Amino acid sequence: MRIVFAGTPEFSVPCLEACRASGAQVVAVYTQPDRPAGRGRKLTPSPVKQAALAANIPVEQPETLKAAEVRATLEAYRPDLMVVVAYGLILSRKVLAIPHLGCWNVHASILPRWRGAAPIQRAILAGDTETGVDLMQMEAGLDTGPVLLERRTPITRDDTGGTLHDRLSALGAGVLAEGLRRTLSGAPLEATPQSEASVVYAHKLEKSEARLDFSRPAMALERQVRAFDPWPVAEGDIAGEPVRIWAAHAIDQPHHTAPGSVIAAQRDGIDIACGEDVLRVTALQRAGGKRITAADYLNARPELRSAR
């Protein structure tokens, strides 16, 4: 089997490795063009490109797949299957029709819930207790195709956007490996259509969403902090100082204090009044500084220890 793999971020790399380990031949990798990154804004290859080059796989980086010459290049690789994992470009019907087995997508949610760009963070924000990965046969619509295989995992109160990302990346590689194993052995995969009545969209994250509104319930803010670790990182004010909030948890504690007020401050956390209950901040970052514990922050602001 000849596979063309299309992916860009770190999330996609384990799936590329699953393709390589399957016994199929990865004949080309498609990934986003190099983008500026880091303090020097130097052009940097994507994690998938770096993995492909290390494995001596040809790399293509078109800005779009709409051009006829780009499609001709893809056709020249004679793919039996195209595997798409967080690639970042829309595949037209003409592109989807090139591989004779079509195109598969590994998507980080239990479809049709959280179609779209940010399924991991949206699941945490919504308070979902479970998520997973779906191996899907691609159609022209946004994550609309039938599901071929699925694996699930619980979402715990310890999960952040980062930890869930890593777990789903590994699960995605596993479900893709199973799909490839079955296909290569001649076992058919059952395609299960999605229920259009249950569709929920995971819209792209915006940096403006990182701002904490302490008039909201503490549990909602806890989920916001967890979902936005490691990006864009929640932001809020502590006794007048704007900080980034890396870790916090809700405490079931009724109060009659104005939202945003510091109720208590001790080594294990800084308690902030919310519209409902209290948010205990345990890790934060001052402007221009690095991530520190609440205890270290209080060493710099000892006046908060007398908060009531």
Quick one: CA dihedral 110, 116, 120, 124, positive or negative?
negative
> Domain 208-306 sits in which CATH superfamily?
Formyl transferase, C-terminal domain (3.10.25.10)
Q: Which CATH architecture has domain 2-202?
A: 3-Layer(aba) Sandwich (3.40)
Tell me where in the chain the CATH 3.40.50.170 domain(s) lie: 2-202
Other CB atoms within 10 Å distance of the CB of residue 43:
10
Q: What is the pLDDT along the chain (308 residues), one digit of tens a residue?
A: 999 999 999 999 999 999 999 999 999 999 999 999 887 889 999 999 999 999 999 999 999 999 999 999 999 999 999 999 999 998 999 999 999 999 999 999 999 999 999 999 999 999 999 999 999 999 999 999 999 999 999 999 999 999 999 999 999 999 999 999 999 999 989 999 999 999 999 999 999 999 999 999 999 999 999 999 999 999 999 999 999 999 999 999 999 999 999 999 999 999 999 999 999 999 999 999 999 999 999 999 999 987 65
Contact (Cβ atoms closer than 8 angstroms) between residue 278 and residue 256: no
Distance CA 199, CA 39 (A): 40
Q: What are phi and psi of 269, to 5 degrees?
A: 155, 165
pTM confidence score: 0.95
Other CB atoms within 10 Å distance of the CB of residue 32:
20
Tell me where in the chain the CATH 3.10.25.10 domain(s) lie: 208-306
Asked if residue 135 belongs to a known ligand binding site, the reply is: no
Pair of tokens at residue 128: 């979902």
Asked if residue 110 belongs to a known ligand binding site, the reply is: yes
Provide the 8-state DSSP code for 32. Answer: P
Contact (Cβ atoms closer than 8 angstroms) between residue 121 and residue 131: no
User: Which residue has tokens 């009545």?
Assistant: 197
Asked if residue 292 belongs to a known ligand binding site, the reply is: no
Q: What are phi and psi of 122, to 5 degrees?
A: -65, -35
Give, in order, the Cα–Cα distances in Å from 51 to each of 10, 48, 55, 110, 157: 10, 5, 6, 28, 33
3-state helix, strand, coil in the chain (%, to 5): 30, 30, 40
Of the candidates 188, 167, 112, the residue with the CA atom closest to the CA atom of residue 145:
112
Count of helix runs (H) and strand runs (E) in the chain: 8, 17
Quick one: CA dihedral 296, 302, 304, 306, positive or negative?
positive
The torsion angle over the Cα atoms of residues 220, 115, 109 and 86, rounded to 10 degrees, is: -110
Distance CA 221, CA 211 (A): 10
Distance CA 169, CA 165 (A): 6
- Bridge partner list, 276: 217
Asked if residue 112 belongs to a known ligand binding site, the reply is: yes
Gyration radius (Cα) of the chain, Å:
23
Give, in order, the Cα–Cα distances in Å from 266 to each of 177, 188, 256: 48, 59, 20
